[in-house]
Amino acid sequence: MKLIATGIAESEAGPDEPFLLERFIPYRLSVLTNLLSRAIGRLYGRRFGLAIPEWRVMAVLARFAPLAAAELCTRTAMDKVQVSRAVARLKAAGYIVRSVDTADRRRSRLRLSSSGRAVHDAIVPMARAAEAKFIADLAPADRATLDRLLGLLLDRAQTLDAAGNIADKT
């Protein structure tokens, strides 16, 4: 069943026209992301008992370890509570190892354990396959545009979120 129509963006509609939720871009992005996160969450969760925040931490540690929690926050775009909890679960599962930064004993140095690395390496092809399947419908030019638009819109959203004034006429 097709729930969401395509056509002009809602914001191009004049003020007297009815508001069309199904064309409202933030709504469509939200539905899209929820569907995709759910599908991908099943992917990690079913076989490895990982939630998405945990997978994000593992993916970043695989590349940049050792990292402190604060650096994980920056790299994963998660807040420090989320990171703290993801790290705690991964440590309990034996997928990461924590040591204390000797130069600053508040900071931790986090890295994947060998079993964590093995899980990571097993998941990566699945994640790539899922992404490929998701965009399989798109022509090469559309993929490039999508990639570029995601960059632009992320910048924009970060700016608007930080400014906190998304509705003002600025």
Partner DNA sequence: GAATAATAGTTACAAATGAAACTAATTGCA
Partner DNA sequence: TGCAATTAGTTTCATTTGTAACTATTATTC
Q: How far does Cα 75 stand from its chain's mean position?
A: 10
133 is a site residue for DNA (CB under 7 A) = no
Amino acid sitting at position 25: I
Longest dimension (CA), the chain: 64
Q: Which does 68 bind (CB under 5 to 8 A by kind): DNA, a second copy, none?
A: DNA
CA distances from 115 to 6, 55, 73, 90, 127 (A): 45, 14, 23, 11, 18
131 is a site residue for a second copy (CB under 8 A) = yes
83 is a site residue for DNA (CB under 7 A) = yes
Q: Which is nearer to a second copy, 31 or 100 (CB)?
A: 31
Burial class of residue 13, CB neighbours in 10 A (0-12, 13-18, 19+): middle
Q: Which is nearer to a second copy, 100 or 154 (CB)?
A: 154
From 88-96, 97-105, 111-119, 122-130, give the range in contact with a second copy by CB under 8 A.
122-130
161 is a site residue for DNA (CB under 7 A) = no
Q: In the numeric block, which tokens belong to residue 87?
A: 């790290």
Question: Which residues, 53 to 82, sit near DNA by CB under 7 A?
Answer: 53, 68-70, 79-82
85 is a site residue for DNA (CB under 7 A) = yes
